[in-house]
Structure formats: C-alpha cells, structure tokens
Structure 1
C-alpha cells in the first residue's frame, strides 16, 4: 500500500504527524527555532516523504545526515547551511546530531516582521532546489552568534520579541546573500516543470507587489499567469499541482491572506481599502474570506497586531 503523503502547514503539524514532541514549537507566530539535539530522534532517523508549507534554514555546526528534495540528495556536513522553500517533496535523515539549529518561517512572518518587499531583495527565497553550502569557519561562527541570539529572543516574553527576531533574521539573510548567493547558480532539475514553478512564484510575487504599490488594479487569474509563460492554462495548472501539491487557486488564496495580514498590520489603509486593493468588491466579502482562512476577522486581526 502506498504510504500516505504528509502535508504539513507548520513544523508543529509535521512533528505531530511524526510523533515527535512539540513543546518547543510556538504555533501562532509563523516562526520557530530550536536545536535538534533537544528533539528525541532515535538515530539514525529517517523521515517519511512530506511536503512542508513553510521555509526552513538548517545550521549544522556538528552533526551529519542527508536530505532529498524532488529526487536530489545532498549530504549534510559540519559547518554547512541549507535552505528549503515550501511545497516540494522531501525526506531527511539524521545520522548524528550534536548542534544543529533549525529555523522555520512562513511568508506572513517575513512580511510582518522584516519588510514587505522581502522576496524582491532576497529572490533566492523563491529558488526551487538549493544544495547545502559549506562555510568558512569564521563565517559560520558569525552566523552562529546571530542564530543563537535569535534562539534566546525566541524564548523571551518581550512584547517586541518577533520584531527583534525579524531584525536579527534580516541580518542572517544579508550575510547569506553576501557569502554565497551573490553568484550562486541554483540546481536545474533536468525538466522544464521546475522552471515553470519558479517563474510562476516570481510572477505571483511581482503581481502582488504591483497591486500593493498601486501600479495595477487588475487581479490576475489562472489565464493571466499562463499567458505570462505562453502556456495553456490547463498545462500550467497541472504542472503547479503536480510539482507543489497545491492548486494555483490555493497559491493565490494563501498569497492574498499573507498580503492582507501584512497590510492590516503595517499600513494605514482602511479594511475597505485593503479589500478593494486585493480584488474584493465588498468589504463584507473580504471579511468573510479572511475569517474563513484565519479564524478571525480583519478588524480583530488589525487590533491585535497593529504595530505601535
């Protein structure tokens, strides 16, 4: 019998599915960090196949293993760092764990606590498949100081905790960009589907950025994204669903919610203005849509998350 595919919206969900403890994971922030030594893996540990719906960085100071993403297998060695983004099939194996820090985060966290154009500045976050990178000792030590400070802040009770983490995390992204993404050539997976997915993600990000910056008022649909790549809409839909496990409409729905959360928290726009900006003709329709996807209303979300 075929093993059931695990689709995990958060790391909390994944650890629950794998029967691992979740007491170190904060569910509601869109961000997690912990040392894997604190998780009771029975080594060597081999995970089942899963699709995460979040980004992750792993900082390997001391430990070993491997991970496989869409058929590409990479060794994980001391002094290395690796990155994955949402929706690809993957597995991981840990042979030894001494000090390995895992950071996971979602788009909402990035846009609420870093800045709205995060994918424009750090376009590598949209890259499909990225192999681990071995860092020089001094460079890794510099990175270690940053993620350990983030880990400390994660367990504090400051009302500014995630803003502090966001600022520290943007330094990590800048250091990663400086050290090895400046001239980095991502892996080509040997078929056109991977490039189609990457281009689709970039087109979605560019279009929503244009909406937010009032460069366009037209909401793109499946046909529009297909036309940008000169593809038949059905073909694009099939590629996105097969490669990512999510339909185009799911991608656009999640993107709409992420942008709505960011605007509610960071802008002075009214709920009615945000609704119109994101393609809703009635603010009531937007409110119902937002509540269906977040279990709270836009007004309550704005009140609870509005920055001082």
Structure 2
C-alpha cells in the first residue's frame, strides 16, 4: 500500500523546500502554474492518496485515474481531488498548460465544511470537461488567485477562500446533482449524511491493523440510532439500502487494492474485514460477476 502523500511530501518532492507556515499547523493554501510539469516537462503523478485538497485546470489531453475509474480528457477540464480518493495522471505530455491550487482542511477551519461539497465527496462528480468559454472563466479565477497570493493585503486569505468557493460552485452548477437538489436538512437527510461521512472515514486502509465497520448494525450503533431507523433514512434519501452502499464502497476499495497494490487476495479480504479469503472471493464475485484474480488480470 502506498503511503499517503502529505503537503510536506509534496513540497519536498517538487522543490526540496517547505513554506514557513507549513510547520506551524496553520491552514495552508498555494496556487501554481501547471506548465512547468506537463508537456516536455511532464512528471509522473503516481497512484496514491494525498492528505490535502487540490483543484486543477488544464488544457490538452490526459487520462486521470480516480479510485477504480479511468477518465480520458481530450480538450480541457477542471478536476477536484480530495484526501479520501487516490488518483494518478497519465499522458501529461499531452497537456499544454493550466493551473492548480492546493489547500488543507485547516485552511477552511471555521469557514465551512468544504469536504461536504459533492465535488470532493466519494461518489460525487470530480471532473468537469469545459467549453472554451467556461475555460476562460476558470483561467480568470486562477489568475485572480495568483494575484491575491502576491498581495500584501492583511485579509487576502479570506479572499482566496471565497475564490476557491467560487470555483467549487462554478463546477457544481455545470452538472446539478440530485444530492444538491434534495439536501433539505430533514432528519432522514441528517442521518443519511452522518452515515456516509462515517463510511468515508473507514478509508483509506493504510495498515493491516486497521479495522472497518461492515454491517448496517455496526454503523447504527456508532450513530446511536436503531438499525431500522438508519435503513429507512438511507433508503429515503439515496434510493439504496444501507447494505448496498456499504458493499459498493467495499468493492471500490477492493478494486483499488487489487489494481494498485501487490497484496494477495486473502490479504485484501482481511483488510476489508473478511476473515476467510473464500468469503471475500464470493462477495466480490456476487457484486461484480468476476473473481478478484480475474479483475486483477483484466
């Protein structure tokens, strides 16, 4: 299993130095021109998780691997990366130009739960292909960020938070989701949201001693609600059963581990809470119609 990259790793690998405020446990933000890392200067972006958020705009073609998916971009796109979902980029020699900004959880501390927006949540849409006009607007946003970073204004980071939020809402307006439309804050929605948050916190799995919750009753106990109450709330909001959502998340993680680690099938099954390799193999085949080994070789 690849170690999750931290902001410290990011700066050390790119430039061999660290910003002063990175060691002071403060909120961190920075914005960069992508041009130095693509085309003829392309650097490999390995498949792993990072413990920071990243928003990238690029012009050109590339393939982006998110969790167990691979997405081909032909012209230009806006991409949102979060600490929960591993990713890598391929074909960066086909990228012409772009920008990216990075920030950590603390940057938005007491300023909003940025991780709760669909562009950063597991199952949400993380990549938006853009028209030329949309791309122009995004470029303007990143140039404003660059200018603000160079300013001496005392409250410039408040402005930068606003600019990040503008990019998030710009993307979400391109493809409104049912989740955005139906999030009304009722009791069922609150319980369903807490369940999904708890499910997301089970991952990534980075050590063999890590245990995860696998059954609706275990989640209900953690949320201090009856299992039937949890099941009704989740079904009402998502249209799926609690077990279906848990299984989908387990399969997503299983596919990641099968494709991007050298762990054996039995080791992966154990990490995901299956004490016997045969139980894991049967579960995987039931959910995907393939055996774990067939998927790994495919």
> Which category describes the TM-score, using the shorter chain as reference length?
0.5 to 0.7
User: 1:166 and 2:161 equivalent?
Assistant: yes
Q: 1:140 aligns with which of 135, 140, 164?
A: 135
Aligned to 1:156: 151
Aligned to 1:67: 64
Which secondary structure state, in structure 1, belongs to the residue aligned with residue 94 of structure 2? strand
Measure, in 1, the Cα distance between the counterparts of 2:2 and 2:199. 28
Measure, in 2, the Cα distance between the counterparts of 1:5 and 1:137. 37
Q: 2:46 aligns with which of 41, 45, 48?
A: 48
Mark the CA change 1:169 to 1:70 in structure 2 (over 3 Å): closer, same or farther.
Answer: closer
User: 1:95 and 2:90 equivalent?
Assistant: no
Mark the CA change 1:131 to 1:164 in structure 2 (over 3 Å): closer, same or farther.
Answer: closer
Mark the CA change 1:83 to 1:184 in structure 2 (over 3 Å): closer, same or farther.
Answer: farther
The RMSD of aligned alpha carbons is 4.2
Gaps of at least 5 residues in structure 1 are 186-195, 206-220, 246-308
Equivalent residues of 1:47, 1:91 under 8 A apart: yes
Deviation at 1:160, TM superposition (A): 1.0
Aligned to 2:9: 13
Measure, in 2, the Cα distance between the counterparts of 1:141 and 1:40. 20
Which secondary structure state, in structure 2, belongs to the residue aligned with residue 181 of structure 1? coil
Measure, in 1, the Cα distance between the counterparts of 2:176 and 2:57. 16
TM-score w.r.t. length of structure 1 = 0.53
TM-score w.r.t. length of structure 2 = 0.55
Equivalent residues of 2:27, 2:104 under 8 A apart: no
Mark the CA change 1:169 to 1:181 in structure 2 (over 3 Å): closer, same or farther.
Answer: same
Gaps of at least 5 residues in structure 2 are 181-191, 202-218, 232-240, 258-298
* Aligned length in residues: 208
